[in-house]
Amino acid sequence: MLDGRVLALDRNEAGRTTLHGGSHGTGQANWRFEGHDATSCALSIRLPDGLDGFPGTLDLTARYSLDAEGALTLSLEAQTDAPTFCNFAPHSYWTLGAADGLADHRLRVTAETYLPTDAAEIPLGIQAPVAGTRFDFRSQRAVMVAGDAPLNHNLCLSGTPALRPVCWLSHGDVTLEIATDAIGLQLYDGVHINTGALRTHTGQPYRPHAGLAIEPQAWPDAPNQPDFPPITLRPGARWTQVSRYALTRRPGSDQERTKP
């Protein structure tokens, strides 16, 4: 429901649900290159009114920038000409070892609760404590342990929604620190990854668990969950999200800092 109107969105996931903004989401489209300077570049895209069922013409800008420490910051901004829903999420996969995969990777996330889901991976509408569950990353632990349930859930981030460190992924002496002003972090263990015979960055196909998706976002399914923070964007308002990715090595290693 949006302002008393039922929206029928694109059912691009198993013919039932809307995944990643629908069949024509921003991850499936070419963006316009808007320019660059020595340390940053900007891209934009316009989503037309009614695309995959979402009302309003929505303009989205993404700016990637490197700071003096070599960290990468992604700043997103969106505006619309009609009420719509807006919850974009960077969907990068990470692996820090010499080979693809999540073996020997450890994770810490500042989240006391997570969103349980049903069999279709849709949130049940409640927050549950992470304590004693597979989703407890308050202290660093292995991303994957034999017998663990699959990981494709939103963790409800602690702290005020300002840019703050929320996630640390480590392998050996290398650590990725992610800071964001988002209220949620979707974690997906990549169990369904399979690029077939296609070559990838390594020249080899990607297989299940090739990387961990770490996705800053608002909570999923918010329009259908009255107790979740809303994601409605209205004309005249501006939606923003900022996330920062910093790779470091422990002091004493061969190279103390690695630039992404």
Task: Confirm if 156 and 112 have CB atoms less than 8 A apart.
Answer: yes
End-to-end CA distance of the chain: 41
- Which residues 6+ apart lie within 8 Å of 2 measured at CB? 55, 83, 84, 85, 223, 232
Tokens of 16: 């039932």
Check 153, 171, 209, 215 and give the catalytic one.
Answer: 215
- Tell me the helices (H) and strands (E) count for the chain, helix number first: 0, 17
CA dist., res. 120 & res. 219, Å (int) = 16
Is 201 a known active-site residue?
A: no
Is 69 a known active-site residue?
A: no
Task: Confirm if 162 and 171 have CB atoms less than 8 A apart.
Answer: no
Check 91, 112, 121, 177 and give the catalytic one.
Answer: 91
Q: List the catalytic residues.
A: 91, 215
